[in-house]
Structure 1
Amino acid sequence: MGTYQTKLEQIAQHSDVELAVIVPPSWQDPAGEVVLERSHTEGYQLWVEPLRFNGQFHIHYYPTLRQKLRDFRPDILHMDEEPYNLAT
């Protein structure tokens, strides 16, 4: 949801922060597909990447994550996921 992206804009406002965020193009929710909103995306890179096992909370993952991390080389990695999920 776009409103969740406001925290990312606030983090990206800091001059010493280069922020990149990886998201899927959509999430297959039991109530229906939730499509990515691009509402608050100033100041950071929003990478839309494919997701394996979309809709499966505990076993989904980003197959391109390793390459993205290798290319970007972040100092800090934050996963907004539960610790027991495969994505984490």
Structure 2
Amino acid sequence: MGAVDRTNDKSLQQHRSKQLYERASFFKRLAIGAADPKFSAKLQALVDEYESEAARAKLEIEQPAAPQEPAYADGIAEHRSG
């Protein structure tokens, strides 16, 4: 994956995280204003789900990329004894 691909991927993840937090905030406002406690509880479940997903997306952005395995010309790792 090239540097441009990683930058685009990170930008998309940031956008996704922001959208999820915005949705959580929207449903939280609805839950607070709902007159029916059962409906409010259903909305709160959506809030929890969106906040969890947003936090997961944010964590993916903040974690460094996993190191890649070294590439070998013949596909076989050099064996060294000693």
Q: TM-score over 0.5 for the alignment?
A: no
TM-score normalised according to structure 1 size = 0.20
Larger helix proportion of the pair: 2
Max radius of gyration: which structure? 2
Larger strand proportion of the pair: 1
